[in-house]
Each structure stands twice: as structure tokens, then as C-alpha cells.
Structure 1
Amino acid sequence: MDPDRIAGTLAFLREAERLKDVLRSGRTSSGRQESTAEHSWRLCLMAVVFAGDLPGIDLGRLLRICIVHDLGEALGGDVPAVLQADGDGRAARERADLERLTSGLAPELRAEIRDLADEYEAGLTPEAVLAKGFDKLETILQHSQGANAPGFDYGFNLGYGRARTDAHPLLALIRTMLDAATRARMEPGDRRA
């Protein structure tokens, strides 16, 4: 056991704790804003509870991807989906923050976390495809059950992350159910319903 390695790992964990205070636009069922850490927790829980429907998937790898997918937000915060745009520089900022956050880790651990984040961003492996899809579905699930503010744009969710959730039959089936729950929360007369 290397004390310097342990000290660097503890410093990383102290910084990663900031995800508990990074608030997202989603609200819990009691109306409190959720944190990025809470979102990541339920994303991992989704992977665990649906693992039996995912033959051939490396659950350990899927969970590691899910755990690190938003680590960069510990330093720079979350950008709500409705405010994200192609070319907004968000991915580069989050990557730079991830590099800063992991800089004190042992080289092999730092490389592993960064590689998992890269795998998620590329979205090409079966585990990354599922992580990206479950990430979108967890957000939609939270919006469909949260005590959201009046005027919340439920219609946005009907198109949100569609390409990611259509990438696997299980994700698409879950999406169908969550879209129905979203429509049930929409205001009467909303044209997107």
C-alpha cells in the first residue's frame, strides 16, 4: 500500500464529492432539485435492475461508465438539456474539468477513468450505447415523476435523446413507457402530446 497513492485517491474523492452539490434542473418527487450525484446513482441502479434483460453486457464495465459519465460536472456544473447546443464547448469544458479532477490519481487509475469517459462520449461500445440511453431515460423518468414547477416543458422530453434511446430494443421499450408517463403530465392542449 502506497501512502502517496492513497492520499491522491482521497484528494480525488474529496473533489468528486462536489457532485453532491451540483444541482440539475430536475426536481425530486418532493420538489427539491436533484443533484448530479443523485442522477448518477439512479442511472447505475437502472443498469443493475435491467441487467437481466441485457445478455452479453459487461455489467461491471457499464456501471463504471455510468459512474464516471458526469464526473467533469463536479467542477463546472451541469448544463440543463434545454440549454445545450451543438458546438457550445460543453464537452471540451467537461473533459478539461475531468482531467483536472483526476490529475492527482495514480497514472493507471487516471487513465482508466479518462478512458471510460472517452468510451461514453464516443458511444460506440455496447456498454456505452446503453449508458448513454439509460442516461437520457433516467432524466425523462425524473421529469415524469418530479414535482416540477408550473409551466415545465414536458413536451421537450418527447424528443430528448431519441437517437440514444432508440439504439437498443430495451431502451426503446422503456422510452415508450416513459413517453406515456410524460404525456400524462402535459397540460391539456399541448400540441406536442
Structure 2
Amino acid sequence: MSRTPSDDRLAGVLAFLRAAEALKVRHRSGRTSDGAPESIAAHSWRLALAAIVLGDALGEHDRLRLLELCVLHDLGEAISGDVPAIHQRPDDGRAARERADLETLGAPLPAEIRARLLALHDEYEAGATREAVLAKALDKIETILQHLQGDNGPDFDHGFNLGYARARTDADPVTARLRAMLDKETRAHVRAADPAGRGASSPAAPPR
């Protein structure tokens, strides 16, 4: 945006931000520690926070770009909402739908800003850059952490998380170590729910 943006440009930004507010009230399948539904915006916020506090530990990367990817990665869900990991399939069309929703959401923005948001979305989906790899890994870490913290009820399938998107979290040594720590806690949840070890874990989710 130029230093002296026109009123039309500013109005477009405000219209976009108004539409993006929907991310605050769109919910994910998990719960927070007080049992309330977790919003998509809350997930994106803590994902970005993880990127900030892990900055040095993650080694060489563009910190601003990683933050942008973390904040924007689920923005298209403001329109169509979240699909729980346990229901995701490689051929379910989610990526194309979310990109189309992001195009709709970004329609009021100046063209160059809209293009940048779409480029960041495509970078994240492709997972081809160091920052996109880290964003995807941290996304899964944050999800598993929330499942462990959330008041999800006695029938919540923690065993599912043991196979969830492991290729994503193993892509970086630091996120792999974080995953190992969370897996240990997850196994404790599984044992507590099924002391006799009779339960079977759900199949792993696709590594989105």
C-alpha cells in the first residue's frame, strides 16, 4: 500500500477485514481448556505465537514470511469453515475450495494485495519453501497441543493423533522433538482412557 492510500483503497481494506472477522466465529472440531469450541482464529493466533517464540530454535528462515503464512494459512475457512482432520481426504477438493474462498474474501482488496495473499496461500499449500514446511509442521504441533489441553470429553480419540501428519512434523528436527514430547503425553491420555489397552487408534489423517 502506498504512503498516501486513497479512500477507496482504505475502504477495500476495511471491507476485507470485516469479512475476515468470520474467522473469529468459525469453529474447529476441538475444544479449549474450558470446554468451549475453539475458533479458527484462535488456532491461527497460537500458531503465529509458536513461530515467534521458536524463532531462533528453527534456524535460518524468513521470520516475517513464516508469520504471514501462519496467520493466513486458514483464512479461506472464514467462508466454508474447517474440515476436521479425521474427515479429510486427499481428493476432497479442500485446497481448491479454500483458495476460491480466499479469492472471494479478498475481492475488496487492492489487486496487488489480493495477489500477495493468494501467492502466500499457494506457497503454503505447495510446501515448497523452508517457511511453508515450518508453517505446516507448526500447524500440526499446535493442533495436537490443543487436543491435549482441550476439554474434549471422555470419548475423544487421542489415539488418532499418534499417526496424524507425522511426515509434516518430522520435516524439521525441532518440530520432530516437539512432536515426540506431545506423543508421550498423548500416549498417557490413551492409556488413561483405556487402561487395558483394548482400544485401537484411528487411521492417520492425510498429511495436509
Asked if these proteins are the same fold (TM beyond 0.5), I'd say yes
2:184 to 177, 180, 183: 180
Note the 1:59-98 alignment, pairs <5 A: 59-98=63-102
State the alpha-carbon separation in 1 of the partners of residues 148 and 77 from structure 2: 23
2:48 to 44, 47, 54: 44
2:61 to 36, 57, 61: 57
What is the deviation of 1:184?
1.4
State the alpha-carbon separation in 1 of the partners of residues 149 and 71 from structure 2: 23
What is the deviation of 1:108?
1.1
State the alpha-carbon separation in 2 of the partners of residues 35 and 44 from structure 1: 15
Partner in structure 2 of residue 101 of structure 1: 105
State the alpha-carbon separation in 2 of the partners of residues 91 and 116 from structure 1: 13
Indicate the SS of the match to 1:88.
coil
The TM-score normalised by the length of structure 1 is 0.97
State the alpha-carbon separation in 1 of the partners of residues 116 and 101 from structure 2: 16
Do residues 150 (structure 1) and 154 (structure 2) align? yes
State the alpha-carbon separation in 2 of the partners of residues 96 and 138 from structure 1: 25
The structure having more radius of gyration, on CA atoms, is: 2
State the alpha-carbon separation in 2 of the partners of residues 16 and 155 from structure 1: 33
2:138 to 122, 130, 134: 134
State the alpha-carbon separation in 2 of the partners of residues 149 and 25 from structure 1: 12
State the alpha-carbon separation in 1 of the partners of residues 128 and 84 from structure 2: 24
State the alpha-carbon separation in 2 of the partners of residues 34 and 191 from structure 1: 26
What is the deviation of 1:191?
4.3
State the alpha-carbon separation in 2 of the partners of residues 74 and 157 from structure 1: 25
**Coordinate RMSD, CA, aligned:** 1.2
The TM-score normalised by the length of structure 2 is 0.90
Q: Deviations over 1:38-59 (max 9, x none)?
A: 0000000000110010221111
State the alpha-carbon separation in 1 of the partners of residues 31 and 106 from structure 2: 29
Number of positions where the alignment pairs a residue of Structure 1 with one of Structure 2: 193
Give the 4+ runs in structure 1 shifted more than 3 A: none
State the alpha-carbon separation in 1 of the partners of residues 64 and 200 from structure 2: 42
